[in-house]
Amino acid sequence: MNFGVEDCLYVYPSDSIARWVNVSRPRASRGGFWFGKGFVVSEIADKAVLITGANRGIGRALVDEALHRGARRVYAGTRDRFTAPDERVVPVALDVTNRAQIHDAVGAVESLDVLINNAGIARYDDLNDPSVLERHLAVNLFGTHAVTRAFLPMLMRSSGAVVNNLSINALAPLPLIPAYSISKAAAFNLTMSLRAFLAPEGVRVHAVLTGPVDTDMTRELDIPKSTPRSVASAIFDALARDEQDIFPDPVSQSLARGWTSSPTKALERQFAELVAAAPMAHRSPTRSTP
């Protein structure tokens, strides 16, 4: 049985989709747009960016790309010592599973426009060892959640953006790495809820549904991969276009059109409207201090 947009509208009858598009689509103007409570400049130039897992792979490429595009400040969150490649880079000790480090990191950041939750782990498993699943959730889901909550007040002040580097495995699990896939699916769901909660606050929340990239994470996979540099560049391009869900490489791009026009995406938008209508007390679980 096919489940189409019409069925969604039947289950959740409202003029929601058309209204959502009219109300929430950013109005373009002079390199930025109005969103939520404020005017957002969409380019990364002259902005402050924090990138987790910044020392290697995609995170390192994001650091270089942000600098290349004229970022004012790049906070490089790493677990180990990091040698800054540019005077605009500020190394920040940041294990995303470490509450004390997250707290200290907030103190080290002056202001923030874009938070990129990039840190992640992927281990082969067969779901027989619950501790493997727990470890993936600790980093890829709870780490992303904790860092986002900690920096939210700054992002609200700047009408900023959260960018969560997820994976196409959020949409379809790769059974070689099921625990990873579960954690990315959960982080995608988190991303969509945060997007709905934070839209009225003027903070945009983006999902990056990345395909295979040539980094340490995929070293053992003999498949075509994109370069970290091309992916980093595509992420910032998509951010400038304010794309909610970002497909930054050829493999993920093949899913983009289908996803954007899918009943699931339409349903996400319909459900997001319920947040706007909900009483304040039910809206903002992200706002209290961690």
Ligand X SMILES: NC(=O)c1ccc[n+]([C@@H]2O[C@H](COP(=O)([O-])OP(=O)(O)OC[C@H]3O[C@@H](n4cnc5c(N)ncnc54)[C@H](OP(=O)(O)O)[C@@H]3O)[C@@H](O)[C@H]2O)c1
Query: What DSSP string describes the chain?
Result: ----HHHHHHHS-SSHHHHHHHHHSPEEETTEEEETTEEEE-S-TT-EEEEESTTSHHHHHHHHHHHHTT-SEEEEEESS----SSTTEEEEE--TT-HHHHHHHHHH-S--SEEEE---------S--HHHHHHHIIIIIIIHHHHHHHHHHHHHHHT-EEEEE--GGGTS--TTSHHHHHHHHHHHHHHHHHHHHHGGGT-EEEEE----BSSGGGTT--S--B-HHHHHHHHHHHHHTT-SEE--SHHHHHHHHHHHTSHHHHHHHHHHHHHHHS-GGGT-TTSS--
Query: Catalytic positions, please?
Result: 180
CB of residue 165 vs ligand X: minimum separation in angstroms?
A: 4
CB of residue 218 vs ligand X: minimum separation in angstroms?
A: 4
CB of residue 117 vs ligand X: minimum separation in angstroms?
A: 8
CB of residue 189 vs ligand X: minimum separation in angstroms?
A: 16
Phi, psi of 53 (to 5 degrees): 60, 45
CB of residue 163 vs ligand X: minimum separation in angstroms?
A: 11
Task: Return the number of the residue (218 or 286) whose C-beta is nearest ligand X.
Answer: 218
Task: Return the number of the residue (216 or 282) whose C-beta is nearest ligand X.
Answer: 216
- By CB under 6 A, name the binding residues for ligand X: 52-53, 55-59, 79-80, 94-97, 118-122, 139, 143, 165, 167, 210, 212-213, 215-218
CB of residue 190 vs ligand X: minimum separation in angstroms?
A: 13
CA distances from 12 to 6, 7, 18, 273 (A): 10, 9, 14, 11
Task: Return the number of the residue (93 or 240) whose C-beta is nearest ligand X.
Answer: 93
275: amino acid identity, one letter: V
CA R_g for the chain: 18
